[in-house]
Every structure is written in C-alpha cells, then in structure tokens.
A and B are shown apart, each in its own frame.
Chain A
C-alpha cells in the first residue's frame, strides 16, 4: 500500500473533507490503488516528451484591458446566505 491512513487524514483536512473513522481503511485502499496506477505510468520512458499542461494544442488568447462588467452587486448577493451593508458575511475568522 503506497499511502497510510495518516496521509489520508492530512489530505482530507487540506481538502476540507470529513472522512469517518470507519470509512478510513476503505478510502486508504482505494486511494492507494489510484496512486499505484500512477506509479505504473511512471515506469514508462518519457525522455524527450515535453510536459503537457493542457490537452488542447493551443496557446492562450488574450483579452483587451477594458472594463466590460458593471456593478451587479444586488443580483449577485441575492443568493448569499448572509450579507450586510454590501458585505458577504461569514462566521468570524480570527488570525
């Protein structure tokens, strides 16, 4: 097995996923299988192959620097669970 339950707990925390104690062994096993497959792919010789960052063989089109969006705050805030004085509200964040 290529990953430990502790690895899974750490990754889950980073991704803000909650994985119950009882599900942990199964998730660990399935996760390991995916990584084992990647390990297998890693055995292929890719010398001289340029790393691909996007499957489309194109480059980025650029946009002119002009303001095209205008204030639609009211509409965009309509679906927010909490708001006040033009701000979205979230539970208190303390640093």
Chain B
C-alpha cells in the first residue's frame, strides 16, 4: 500500500531564565543533584507558586516572533498524574487558555522554498525532575533540580508529511528561539525536546489514521531516524492487516527502534482543572507593544537582507543565517573589509572547517572577525594569492598575529609587479627552448595545457608568490609572441 505520513510536533523548549517558573531556585545546568530544589519545587505542604515575569515575557516574545495571537487572559491548570519525579502529583501547565494562541510559522526548506506550519498553541508549564535508573541497583534516584524549570510547549497542527519537513521545522524553530534570546537552544542539555505524533493513511485519503506518540527525542538526527523506523513499523503492521494501537513510545537510538512505554498507557487521563494557587495572567496591548519593540531582526528578514544588501546567493544566506552568532560574525567581517562574498566563503569554508575540527563555537573563535577581515582585505588588494592566503589563515588560527604581521614576518607578499614577473617569464622561456617549440607547434586547445608547465616553473621560482592572474596574462603574451 502507498502510505502517506501525517505528523504533528510538540516541542518542549526550556526558557532562558535565572530562576524557576514558580520558585526562586536556580536553573543552572549541571549542578549537584537536589542542590537547586527548594520547598516549592519539592511540593512541600503549604508552599505556594509565584510566577516568574521573565517566563511570561519569553512566551509573549515567542508568540510575537511567529505572529501568533497572544492570550489576553491565560490560566494555569493542573495536569494530574503520578510519577516519582513529579513531587506534587500534578504538573502546573496551561490547558484551557494558553498564553500563545494560533499562528503560522514559515519554515525555510533546504531548497529555499517556504513551508507554512500552523502552530496550534504554545503554553507555559513547569518541567518535572529527573529519574536516574542506572546508579542504584535496587532503587531509582530522584534529582529535582530540573523540577520547576520553565518550559514553553509549542504544539503544531498535523502539517508534516516527511521527516525532512519535521527536521527543517525544528532547525528553523531552534534558530528563531535563539535569535529571540528566549532559550539557549542547547539540545545536548535538553533545552529543546520533541514529541512526534505520527500516523499513516492511504495516499489520497483525508481521514487520519491511529497515531502513536514518540516522546522526548532530543537531536535533529534522532528525530529523522525515529520517524523513519516508526513509519516502517506502522506500515508493516497495516500492510499485514493489523491495527495500530494508540500509545506512547520511546525511541531507542542504540537499537534504532521505537518501544512502547507501557507504564504511561493507563495514566493517559490527566483530569485537568484550573490551578487554584495561581490567578489568571492578564496581558494588555501596552505590554504586547512593549515586547514587540524589543524584537530583534528575525532569521527570515535577515536572510532576505543578506541577499538584497550584500548580494549573497540564497544558498550562502541560508547557511549563514540560522546560527545567530555566525550571522553576526559575518556582518562584523563585512563591516571591516566590505567584501561580502569572500567573507561568506571564508566563514563557511576555512573558518567553519577549522572551528568544527577544534569543536569550537563561532562565538568563541580564536580568530576575530576583524582579523579575518584583515586577511580578506589583503586578498582583495592583490597582496595575497588565494594559496598564500590559506597559509596566512593557518598562521592566524595558530595565534601568530594579524594578517599584515604574518605577511611581513614571512615575506609572503604576492609578486604583482609586472616588471619583476616579466623578468621571470623571460628567464623561464629562455631556459626551456624545447617546451617553447612544442607550444608554438601546438593548436589552441593543446596550448592551454602546455602553458601550465611554464606557470609551474615560474611559481616554483617565485616560491608561490607570483600573482597568478597577472602571470598568466604576461606569460601568454610572451609565448604567443614566439610564434
């Protein structure tokens, strides 16, 4: 059977705050277990939540960032379930009246097209703690440092048809939230986790099939693989006449399979009701306008500007923009050297390569934007050939100074003096009469190939410092004059 995949995504985004959503505990990652959990986070009797204003501001910022409607009056609800890392026996979330209502997020696909994804809602909630199963042989350890960390859960309509679309959405979302500064987007530390609702239907039909939910996938690569294996599993069942059971599943990256989470099956009835310990949040138009005034230039607008103002290709702009730090680095380089295309090439090529090999983020690059601009300026003014420039780049990467210092100390200046080059050309022609004779006898096509010999000889003689364009021009003039 020819199956069509239908998917919706729920992303749990950890908001960048100093303290928790309802308590004054720190949210820093990596603390010793239970050192950042106070009586509110532990659900001690009589403790009352007080809402963090920064979490509200981040949620509104997100809503405005995707052009969504902001809930004028939003309400917290209790989502009731029992699990040891949820001390109160309920999670404070928003069910009936979320802070961010419907919107549309345009996702830039790798081919440059835009895929509009409908956002159903985004709501504030608290994270649960962490259960540790592999330290203690007979017990489960509970670390409540994460309990009460502010999350924004972003829910889409079932608008995805391929794994590629889902991954493109997640990457675009990651880019957006880091631009907005509402999350650090650190996936390895769990700042962005994804639940995938997935079902199959016969291509050409409209009704939705029974779905499964794959919980807590935390990397782009795993999202793609989890979707592929789950689709295969569902297609196998349906093709052999079976039925899909609606259930929660976990992706096991080591075995590359999804597994049923049996324990969550019975509990899928959360009996939501309004949280009596918190009052409704009211957001007025003045507040919304004040937040709107703080919105930075967003990735889509920046991509368009890079193309129109700097003359970059869509392709280069699409590679530079998603990483906010890289886009800023690019603009800083262009500010100094006014050569956008070379700046993009160096950043996406040699610099990215060196950073990846050393596993360094561009914001911590040992080579500053100003230094890279200095190098590009020396290529643009003809001082350096591209070959010499790579040597200078390597030396700058090693921390040996700015481009000009390295050019000076190593004597790397490209020879662009026509007189000096002419002398070299004349010497090489005089020293190789046989090759000159061959060249003269050859036809147009062969001549091109034969001239390479002379270029090689002159480059050797100049220790690679001859300006290649000028050399070629002078050489051909001289050789053609021999015939």
Contacts and interface: CB of A to CB of B under 8 A. Distances in A.
Interface in B265-323: 266-267, 269, 271, 274, 276, 278-282
Q: Which of A16, A61, A76, A95 has the most CB of B within 10 A?
A: A95
Contacts of A58: 279
A70 to B, nearest CB: 8
Contact of B25 (A56, A69, A85): A69
A76 B281 contact: no
B136 A69 contact: no
A53 interface: yes
Contact of A86 (B32, B38, B56, B262): B32
Given A86-B33, A87-B143, A93-B133, A67 B26 contact: yes
A52 B133 CA distance: 42
Given A53-B75, A53-B274, A92-B138, A67 B33 contact: no
Contact of B24 (A54, A60, A67, A95): A67
Interface in B191-226: none
A22 B229 CA distance: 48
A62 B32 contact: no
Prevailing SS type, chain A contact patch: loop
Interface string B135-146: 110111111100
A60 B136 contact: no
Contact of B267 (A14, A60, A62, A84): A14
Contacts of B93: none
B266 A13 contact: yes
B142 A88 contact: yes
B80 to A, nearest CB: 7
Contacts of B250: 95
B271 A14 contact: yes
Contact of B84 (A54, A66, A76, A90): A90
B19 interface: yes
Interface residues of B, number: 59
Given A76-B39, A89-B142, A91-B140, A69 B24 contact: yes
B50 interface: yes
Contacts of B132: 87
A82 interface: yes
Contacts of B135: 85, 87
Given A56-B279, A65-B17, A95-B263, A72 B38 contact: yes
B254 interface: no
Nearest to B84: A90
B381 to A, nearest CB: 50
Nearest to B42: A76
A38 interface: no
A45 interface: no
A65 B19 contact: yes
Contacts of B246: none
B392 interface: no
A68 interface: yes
Contact of B140 (A53, A67, A92): A92
A35 interface: no
Contacts of A73: 32, 34-35, 37
Contact of B23 (A53, A54, A59, A69): A69
B443 interface: no
A90 B369 CA distance: 53
Contacts of A54: 274, 276, 278-280
A27 interface: no
Nearest to A91: B139
Nearest to B75: A53
B53 A53 contact: no
Contact of A87 (B141, B271, B279): B141
B37 A76 contact: yes
Given A67-B19, A92-B138, A95-B250, A87 B52 contact: no
B53 A93 contact: no
Contact of A67 (B25, B75, B274): B25
B437 interface: no
A3 B42 CA distance: 35
B438 interface: no
Interface string A24-58: 00000000000000000000000000000110101
B19 A66 contact: yes
Contacts of A63: 24, 50-53
A77 interface: yes
A23 interface: no
A71 interface: yes
Q: Which of B34, B96, B138, B140 has the most CB of A within 10 A?
A: B34
8 contacts: A14-B80, A14-B269, A54-B280, A60-B280, A86-B32, A86-B143, A92-B138, A95-B250
